Amino acid sequence: MTHVLIVGAGPTGLTLAVELARRGVGMRIVERSPGPATGVRAKGLQPRTLEVFDDLGVIGEVLATGGEYPPVRAYRGEEVTWEGRMDRLREPSPRAPYPNMIVQPQWRTERILRDRLAELRHRVEFGAELTGFEQDESGVTATLGTGETVRCSYLVGADGGRSTVRRRLGVPFAGSTSENEHILLADVRTRDLDRDHYHMWAVAEPGMHLSLCPLPHTDVFQIIAAHRGVDDLPAVVASYAPHVRLDEVLWRSEYRVNVRMAERFRVGRVFLAGDAAHVHSPAGAQGLNTGVQDAYNLGWKLAAGSAALLDTYEAERLPVAGHVLRLSTDLHRREDVVLGDGTDQLGLAYPGSPLSVGERGGRRLGALFREQRGTGFLLLGDVTDDHGLRALPSPEGRPGVLLVRPDGYVGYHGDESGLGAYLSAWGIAAPPAAR
């Protein structure tokens, strides 16, 4: 019997698989597709996601193969009407070591995570579609299209917006789908544009736009085109930019803008994460990143195995997903989007969580990243003001402590005498002595 069965091997499922594998948790990850995805789909990795990837041991490869967003060149037909940045580049600091969003094709992000998973002696089981499951008090019995039956303690649906897991749970997916606005995604080659700019066109009709973004360390551009029911890609491009010819279309897909969120992120021993739990407009590059954060939140809790801890997954992530959904929807409706204005996910926190105690409880620590690497808690005593982390003194004048969760958020902030009761209540083993 495996402890966790993960359904779906996109960025969310792979992040969760790495999280569990590095903790030695018995897990399997299955994917209905016959092999790795090839299209770009999402391409923006936010600063908070980069911090997670640092902890997972893949940040070096992510940065080496990705790149910062190039400056924008806006057009009307062939005429350049504006040049500038849609983000504000910031210098790394002790509180934000990766302050800028990185362009990284989703297929490469997934490949990097699969490679890390292989280092941990696990692999994705492609061509293994979940066809059904039943749960009882002691576990979940899942059936695969291969004919295999899998018994697991927990099942996680990270299987996208059309999630089989969510549908079989019967969880409503409330929200809206734009019936008029169609989005074409494509990976293309063209010799008619330079690779130093993010090329963009818009027309008078609200919501209609075309963009071509050069993908780092490739000769490929990603096209995002909004249109009204026209599915001929060269014709769509020509309607905005008659001078741009497509030499080759490597991959393409089409979708309608969905803004939806599941009413529940957990039903018994089954969890939803990533697009299975919430789907966003592409504005602000929030979807993939929110899914990674779901997995990072859930992974250490599944490893700890405490029923009380697992209850906090939905309590923490559902409000965050709702906030991010509203943000991405607002950005989608605006024309003056500046990436980084609330999109970096560094300010997201869990102040109302039952896991959060004290003034700093639920807040991202935002410091001591090297010390946080790994799978355990970090207990801090009377920390110097260099990091702005000095714990509040107790009424008796003794210094307080900060207990940092494995996902980088402060769990307990207060008098050391209350720490034992906190750990006991959540079934958490005592961490090492305070630093």
Measured CA to CA, the distance from residue 56 to residue 22 in angstroms comes to: 8
Q: What is the pLDDT of residues 60-111, one digit of tens each?
A: 999 999 999 999 999 999 999 999 988 889 999 999 999 999 999 999 999 9
* Planar angle of CA 11, 291, 361, nearest 5 degrees: 130
Q: State mean pLDDT over 268-292.
A: 86
- Top CATH class of 2-66+98-175+259-333 equals alpha beta
Q: State mean pLDDT over 51-58.
A: 97
- Top CATH class of 176-257 equals alpha beta
Provide CATH 3.50.50.60 ranges for the chain.
2-66+98-175+259-333
The pLDDT value recorded for residue 395 is 45
- 227 Cβ contact partners less than 8 Å away, ≥ 6 residues apart: 182, 184, 208, 236, 239
Least confident of 273-287, 332-346, 362-376: 332-346
In this predicted model, which residue has the larger pLDDT, 293 or 333? 293
Q: How many CB atoms lie within 10 A of CB 298?
A: 32
Provide CATH 3.30.70.2450 ranges for the chain.
176-257
SS3 category, 15: helix
The pLDDT value recorded for residue 337 is 46
The pLDDT value recorded for residue 141 is 98
The whole model's pTM is what? 0.93
In this predicted model, which residue has the larger pLDDT, 323 or 389? 323
Helices 307-333, 419-426: axis angle to 10 degrees equals 90
Measured CA to CA, the distance from residue 205 to residue 180 in angstroms comes to: 12
Measured CA to CA, the distance from residue 53 to residue 47 in angstroms comes to: 10
The pLDDT value recorded for residue 129 is 97
SS3 category, 183: strand
Whether 236 and 210 have beta carbons less than 8 Å apart is answered as yes
Q: Give how far Cα 339 sits from Cα of 70, 183, 199, Å.
A: 12, 20, 16
Q: State mean pLDDT over 46-63.
A: 97
Q: State mean pLDDT over 178-206.
A: 86
The pLDDT value recorded for residue 227 is 73
Least confident of 17-31, 296-310, 314-328: 314-328
CATH number (3.40.50, 3.30.300, 3.40.30, 3.30.70) of 349-435 reads 3.40.30
DSSP characters over 325-357: HHHHHHHHH-S---BTSS-S-SS---TTSTT-B
The pLDDT value recorded for residue 209 is 86
Kindly tell me if the per-residue pLDDT of 276 is higher than 60: yes
Q: What is the pLDDT of residues 369-399, one digit of tens each?
A: 999 999 999 999 865 444 555 555 544 555 6
Measured CA to CA, the distance from residue 364 to residue 166 in angstroms comes to: 30
Percent of the chain with pLDDT over 70: 88
